[in-house]
Amino acid sequence: MSLKGRTILITGAGRGLGRAFAEACAAEHADTVIVADIQAEWGEATVDVLRRAGANALFLSVDLGDPKSIDGFAARLAGEVAHLDGLVNNAAIATGIGGKTFEEIEVETWDRVMAVNVRGTWLMTRAMASLLRRSKLGARIVNVASDTALWGAPRLLHYVSSKGAVIAMTRSLARELGPDGIAVNAIAPGLVLVPATDYVPEERKQLYINGRAMPRAQHPDDVTGAVTFLLGQGAAFVTGQLLPVNGGFVLN
């Protein structure tokens, strides 16, 4: 599980699962943890926590909904690091968009979700490809999907569709980047108790708890181990896979 010697980039690492991933990577002795987020205040706060724990950490702002912002991010990062050993595509629009039927979703909201969750994941991966190819340890990409795409969560069609696209993207990227020795995998968390899910109705939260093989709430620490494993040496020959991490709410 050790990430010693690895430089890891995590998008959306300002809070919630992203911050938990950053802290877990630091705890596993990653050489450098790069925090990317649209909210500078959140991102700097994460870096402060990591540095106070003794980790080498850097914050760079990025808006995944803006291709020019991603290009600018890539240029700034190339001036800071010589290579990347891991990319966690975690950033996504999830907060405050649920509850509407497919007939009620606004076109503008649909397009915004797709621009960030799907196009942004693709463009960030494309922008980081050259740095990932320079890894001497074998680079890893971990895409954060969602189990909503596995069980077909209702009243969330735009988000569910975006995460289904991320799953499909993972498999295609695994084949395209495999010859470069880059492993590409995805995880599908369940409903994790983080600030981004505070808005979720209690009824949906109870649906998850009662439907899991392990019937309890899911916390960030329940997810971080899967990510650090997929970023590490032990997952060197694992690629193109989807790992549900949801306490058995969805059983493959």
Of 159, 208, 229, 249, the active-site residue reads 159
DSSP E strands, the chain: 7-11, 32-37, 57-61, 86-89, 140-144, 183-189, 242-245
Q: CA-to-CA distance for 119 and 191, rounded, in angstroms?
A: 23
Query: What is the SS3 assignment for 76-109?
Result: HHHCCCCCCCEEEECCCCCCCCCCCCCCCCCHHH
**Exposure of 17 in the CB half-sphere (CA atoms within 13 A):** 31
Q: Is 159 a catalytic residue?
A: yes
Measured CA to CA in angstroms, residue 243 lies from 30, 46, 71, 167, 191 at distances of: 22, 26, 30, 10, 15
Query: Which amino acid is present at 116?
Result: V
Measured CA to CA in angstroms, residue 188 lies from 3, 32, 38, 51, 210 at distances of: 22, 25, 23, 29, 18
**Exposure of 194 in the CB half-sphere (CA atoms within 13 A):** 22
Catalytic residue IDs: 159
